[in-house]
Chains A and B, each alone.
Chain A
Amino acid sequence: MSEETLPAVRLNAPLVRPNALVGALARVREGAAAIRRYAPTEARRNRVLYAGWPLIILGTMPFAAAIAVASDIPVGQAVSGALAAWAVAGLPITAVLFGAVSGAGLRGPAEDAEAPLPLSPRQRAFGALAAASAAFLGNAALVAALVAATSHDAGELLSGIASLGNWGSVAGYVGAMGAVAACSVAWLTTASFTAAYAASHAVLGGVAALVGGTLLMLPLGAGAALFINHAPELAMPFLAAAVASSAVSAGAAGLALAKTAPLAARSARLSWAKASLLSVLTLSGSLGAWPAFWNAGRAVKARLEQPWGGWDKKDSLQSQREKRLEGLMEGLGGRLVRETPAGTVVLLPGSDPALGELVRRGRGGFERVTRAFFDLDGRVWAEVRAPFVEGQATVRTIWTGDGKGPLTRYLTLPPDMELEVYGGRAAVDTSPYDYSDDSYILLDPAKPPLLKRQ
């Protein structure tokens, strides 16, 4: 290659031209302003729906109360049930309804009336979507306010639904599920809006969103059920995938709307390939949830197939933890002895004062460490059973330590409870002797012990 033909290289060439950046920012600002200007138009167009829906929500309360009176059940329970129904099913349906009505309403006569406005199809679409979303949030706030104001039971009910039993004890679970719920609702609103807008038909859009929503929620719900019943300690990776999946869904639906709006409004030629691509984009998060679920299923299956006695296996994680615990106890002057295949251990007294207290010899024999484990943070938790004394309830205490120093007493278990350790980041599950209900203790050394009965 001759010298003349060598390409010129500008070493100091900026990656983004400042003028282009300023122009892009100006366009974003202009677009946002246009969306703000347009949103009230949408709110006014659907004013009957947006103003009437809260009245329907309010109307179901006396309706539920009347049914309660007629059926001889407590009124508070019926109202709580109605509110829970609104929270779990009513609000997602509201999101679909508002999105679909708003999307379809943007076409037809509204399109003709607004044709001369200097707005892009995207600005109109996102302005209308913003108004529909705001109307939805108003209804969600109303349901939340009713839950807070009318009934303690409803709050309990909702928190029970939100925590799905044992999952409430998994750190970050409620926040993650809140994020999943928010993203899913955002997806439902946006997807129903997009589908109804593209089809110029509210019912078609709503049905499409419900089908897509089922595709999204089914793997997440099924995955949640798997973990609730079998492996809460594996929950966090799944929750992270669920949050990511629903967030990607919501974002992808927004992107699909941004791509669909100009094509639909300007009646541009839309090939099957492009239409399919847009549909896949709208459903990408939903479709992405399935591999996450598949992965979760495999993880839970592997966990279930691991025999309890698998602790003995040299390569099992639990076995390694057991050995660590054993080593730790020995290092502290105690000795860990596995008593049963279920992992019951006996700790012999040692020279450390704390351990001495922990395993002190009682009137009826050795105190026993009946459960001991490392949590996912590496913290040691141990249940210690006091020696049996005729005519007295056995006292059980829970001890904890950072794995480097002595254990300290954390909690004395109520006498009717037996500790069952399922593992997990900070979960110790207990069940009473009669197994009629469950309770759990939130093991968080930073907080006072919280014993929760359900």
Chain B
Amino acid sequence: MSTAIRLEGVRRSFGRKEVLRGVTASAETGKVVGLLGRNGEGKSTLFKILLDLLEPDAGTVEVLGERPDGSGRLRRRIGYVAERPAFHDFLSAGEVLEWRAKFFPEWDAARADSLMRRLKLDPGTRVKGASKGQLAKLAWVCAAAHDPDLLLLDEPTSGLDALVREEVLGELIGELHAGGKTILIANHRMEELGGILDEVWVLSDGVITAAVELEKLRTEACQVTARLHDWGARPVVPGTAAMPSERPLAAWAAFSREAADALAASGALDVVERRPLPLEEAMKLLLKDAGGNHV
């Protein structure tokens, strides 16, 4: 299977602040990858680099087999939903679509119309007076109407109400996935994506600290409760994260069987209990402990 996204040691600073400090990750074609990270961790910067909108200071970027070269040609094959979708405020939704169609040779007007109807978005809606939700819907239509090979979705459900969110996440992304599209999605409500993700990347402190296959996480993530031999000497094991506990017991989330085994074999504790961790909770813990132990 080919690689849709390949990042190697990607660095990017803004002034003195280094936002990305050597991101390395890769996603295979056709996969749906969730990007977890706290606010300000560089998710949007990473998206912009993948979109060829920002130039990395260092490192290698390959998207759909091409190196972004600043020409923008790559974006013909990418659909993008920004965290805060922006459109020219002098246009209506229908005009936005007509305008975009001029720039994308593969633009499918019928598909755009169909998406508009499906998302119940009136083409006459003026951008200037549109709600956040309407703008998010329009962004979705724009991102999908030219049948892109890669979708970069930066908080794509922000502003959408619960019903539409379900429609978008449950159906639209599912359909795109089924069509063989590669999707990289950043979403605060990652638990909503549990059913569709193939893999999760955790972006923390400017690097991808974890790249976990979701199926593995679903089947292997567990909570390990143990009695420490020395309360002051907690073992630090990659692929685990400390959980709240009450003395004399200590608890960890282990994101893989190997991590749980390694924790048990650390010699610093006696395992009392090992029970499966629900996926949503595992993902929350992954994000929460993103800056801690690398998976």
A123-135 near B? 1/0 per residue, CB < 8 Å: 1000000000000
B164 / chain A contacts, CB cutoff of 8 Å: none
B142 lies within 8 A of A116 (CB): yes
Interface 9-mer from B65-73, B213-221, B222-230: B65-73
A116 lies within 8 A of B99 (CB): no
A269 / chain B contacts, CB cutoff of 8 Å: 13, 57
B31-58 near A? 1/0 per residue, CB < 8 Å: 0000000000000000010011111010
Instruction: Determine if A118 is an interface residue (Cβ-Cβ < 8 Å).
Output: yes
* Choice from B57, B75, B86, B142 contacting A112 with Cβ under 8 Å: B86
A112 lies within 8 A of B103 (CB): no
B80 to chain A, nearest CB (A): 5
Instruction: Determine if B196 is an interface residue (Cβ-Cβ < 8 Å).
Output: no
* Choice from B72, B79, B82, B87 contacting A120 with Cβ under 8 Å: B72
Provide the main secondary structure of the chain A interface. helix
A117 lies within 8 A of B86 (CB): no
Instruction: Determine if A268 is an interface residue (Cβ-Cβ < 8 Å).
Output: yes
* Choice from A37, A47, A266 contacting B70 with Cβ under 8 Å: A266
B72 lies within 8 A of A123 (CB): yes
A113 lies within 8 A of B74 (CB): no
Q: Please measure, in the bound complex, the distance between the C-alpha atom of A340 and the C-alpha atom of B256, giving whole angstroms.
A: 112
- Considering only CB atoms, which chain A residue lies closest to B52 in the complex? A266
Give the number of residues in A that approach B within 8 Å (Cβ atoms).
Answer: 24
B79-92 near A? 1/0 per residue, CB < 8 Å: 11010101111100
B70 lies within 8 A of A118 (CB): no
* Choice from B13, B73, B89 contacting A118 with Cβ under 8 Å: B73
A116 lies within 8 A of B88 (CB): no
A117 / chain B contacts, CB cutoff of 8 Å: 72, 75, 100, 103
B8 to chain A, nearest CB (A): 19
B99 / chain A contacts, CB cutoff of 8 Å: 41
- Considering only CB atoms, which chain A residue lies closest to B139 in the complex? A116
Instruction: Determine if A103 is an interface residue (Cβ-Cβ < 8 Å).
Output: no
B90 / chain A contacts, CB cutoff of 8 Å: 44-45, 47
Instruction: Determine if B16 is an interface residue (Cβ-Cβ < 8 Å).
Output: no
Chain A contacts to B: CB under 8 angstroms: 34, 37, 41, 44-45, 47, 109-110, 112-113, 115-121, 123, 262, 265-269
For the A-B complex with A115-B51, A266-B70 known, give 12 more contacts whose Cβ atoms are closer than 8 Å: A44-B90, A47-B90, A113-B88, A115-B80, A116-B79, A116-B80, A116-B100, A116-B142, A118-B103, A118-B104, A121-B72, A268-B55
